[in-house]
Amino acid sequence: MTKLFTALLFFISLSNVIFAQKADSTASSKEKKVNWYDKISLRGYTQVRYNRLLETNPDLRCESCDRSWGDNGGFFIRRLRLIFSGDIGEHLYFYIQPDFASSASSTGLHFGQIRDAYFDVSIDKKKEFRFRVGQSKVPYGFENMQSSQNRLPLDRSDALNSAVPNERDLGVNFYYAPAKVRELYRDLISKGLKGSGDYGVVGFGIYNGQVANKPELNNNLHVVGRVTYPFQMGSQIIEPGIQGYTGKYTLAKDQLSSGVKVNKDLTYADQRVAASLCLYPKPFGVLAEYNIGRSPQFNPETDSIETKSLTGGFVTFCYKWDINKQTILPFARIQYYDGAKKAELDARAHVVTELEAGIEYQPFKYMEIVAAYVISNRNTSDFVKQNNEQQGRLLRIQAQFNF
């Protein structure tokens, strides 16, 4: 019923938009012609990293975080993104973001790949009610919604990001936020307060569930819902949130080791709920998130992939210090995760305990430099490498260029 209701609302709103656009085009024909390129903006950012300073264990790795960790890692372009966006009409907005630093294989780097490709269809003129159609971020978690351009830790937490690797999927989402809240979301980003962006105060949707740029492998859709609301308390802004999703995830045959035991249809339950709390850095800030759920996970005791429970979260502390148009943001994050990463080999099991402390320096708005020291303990298990516990420390450096 949820899928049918969402689809019905979408097509009703789409028909309203078509009629509205016709009326708008009749009125606008009498006005001065606006060229298509006047409606499109282009921006982007690039992140260049080096992770080998003060390294104590070259076998410590995080495949889904940054593939230049560990042995044979060197200078690495983590992201190189261009963002094309603009209002096609009064009720239609588009956003396309390719990344030219994707890894096509373990030996091939810097391939172009779509990250976002979606259209926002607004029902009303204030754009408080929107349907988002295409590949976009799944509304689950605060840090997942937060752009890598704005996030303080160099990588997203294992606990929340393992829910939706690459944070995106193909589907239709509905978002609602009052105009004043949408303005606040934009203000939080423009003032460098590490906002998550505008994903509504209420959001729900349906999506494939196989993660971004992957084909659908079953006849079930994931359903997701999120409720959050920012409010002011004195000089501080606080935003609590809750979210959850449910669906079925099908393992791809090329992500399975020969000999591992699996369900006949390779399909498993994939369900989570999470709570978030953000205190924006004015000047002291905190971001905390925690989730529980179940998903496919490798079990070393039976050499099989089973539906198992998961749990984990993180807390990030920061302080924003503005000096003569320059900004310094010291931060520290501690995270814990006991669960699977469903998109990795054999739905690899993880037990992660990690502390990351660093500082972000913005000499001017077009450039940011981050140095972060990581103390990590990661124990992973798949069919090939079982109980692979690696501990270590390393200093990570990133230069980010905004344009």
Q: pLDDT tens digits for 301-351?
A: 999 999 999 999 999 999 999 999 999 999 999 999 999 999 999 999 999
Q: What is the mean pLDDT of residues 287-310?
A: 98
d(CA 328, CA 319): 8
- Read off the pLDDT band of 18 (50, 70, 90): very low
112-145 tens-digit pLDDT = 999 999 999 999 999 999 999 999 999 999 999 9
Phi, psi of 111 (to 5 degrees): -100, 150
Task: Report the percent of the chain where pLDDT is more than 70.
Answer: 92
> What was the pLDDT predicted at 31?
56
For 227-245, the pLDDT digits (tens) are: 999 999 989 999 999 999 9
CB 4 within 8 A of CB 206: no
Per-residue model confidence (pLDDT) at position 339: 98
Q: Is residue 82 part of a domain?
A: yes
Answer whether residue 17 shows pLDDT above 90.
no
**Rounded distance, CA 296 to CA 294, Å?**
7
Mean pLDDT of 281-295: 98
Rounded CA-CA distance 268/342 in Å is 10
Q: How many domains does the chain have?
A: 1
**Mean pLDDT lowest for which of 3-12, 122-131, 243-252?**
3-12
For the chain, the average pLDDT equals: 92
Per-residue confidence (pLDDT) for residue 289, from 0 to 100: 98
| Cα–Cα nearest to 338, from 162, 177, 75 | 162
pLDDT category at 371 given cuts 50, 70, 90 is very high
Name which of 26-35, 96-105, 325-334, 366-375 the model is least confident about: 26-35
With a pLDDT cut of 90, the percent of the chain lying above it is 86
Question: 292 near 275, Cβ under 8 Å?
Answer: no
Contact 52, 71 (CB under 8 A): no
pLDDT classification of 28: cutoffs 50, 70, 90:
very low
**244 in Cβ contact with 274 (< 8 Å):** yes
The string of pLDDT tens digits covering residues 67-88 is 999 999 999 999 999 999 999 9
Residue 2 pLDDT > 80, yes or no? no
Q: Does residue 325 form part of some domain?
A: no
**pLDDT band at residue 4 under the 50/70/90 scheme:** very low
| pLDDT at res. 106 | 65
Higher-confidence residue of 34 and 264: namely 264
Is residue 228 one of the residues assigned to a domain? no
Domain assignment of residue 55, yes or no: no
Give the pLDDT confidence score for residue 375 in this predicted structure.
Answer: 98
CA-to-CA separations, 153 to 116, 241, 380, in angstroms, rounded: 22, 20, 22
User: Which amino acid, 253?
Assistant: K
β-pairing, 284-299 vs 321-323, is unpaired
- Report how far residue 167's alpha carbon sits from residue 163's, in angstroms, rounded to the nearest whole number: 8
Give the residue among 73, 72, 119, 74 at the shortest CA–CA distance from 94: 119
Which domain, by its residues, includes 92? Answer: 76-115
SS3 of the chain: CHHHHHHHHHHHHHHHHHHHHHHHHHHHCCCCCCCHHHCEEEEEEEEEEEEEECCCCCCCCCCCCCCCCCCCCCCEEEEEEEEEEEEEECCEEEEEEEEEEECCCCCCCCEEEEEEEEEEEECCCCCCEEEEEEEEECCCCHHHHCCCCCCCCCCCCHHHHCCCHHHEEEEEEEEECCHHHHHHHHHHHHCCCCCCCCCCCEEEEEECCCCCCCCCCCCCCEEEEEEECCEEECCEEEEEEEEEEEEEEECCHHHCCCCCECCCCCEEEEEEEEEEEEECCCCEEEEEEEEEEEEEEEECCCCEEEEEEEEEEEEEEEECEEECCEEEEEEEEEEEEEEECCCCHHHCEEEEEEEEEEEEEEEECCEEEEEEEEEEEEEEECCCCCCEEEEEEEEEEEEEEEC
Establish if 283 belongs to a structural domain.
no
Tell me, what's the pLDDT at 103? Answer: 82
Residue 98 lies in a domain: yes
The answer to the question of residue 296 being in a domain is: no
Q: How many CB atoms lie within 10 A of CB 118?
A: 21
Q: Distance between CA atoms of 195 and 231, rounded to whole angstroms?
A: 13
Can you give the pLDDT at residue 108? 81
Calculate mean pLDDT across residues 46-51. Answer: 98
Average pLDDT estimate for 166-181: 98
Q: Per-residue pLDDT averaged across 197-224, rounded? A: 97
Instruction: Tell me, yes or no, whether 84 lies in a domain.
Output: yes
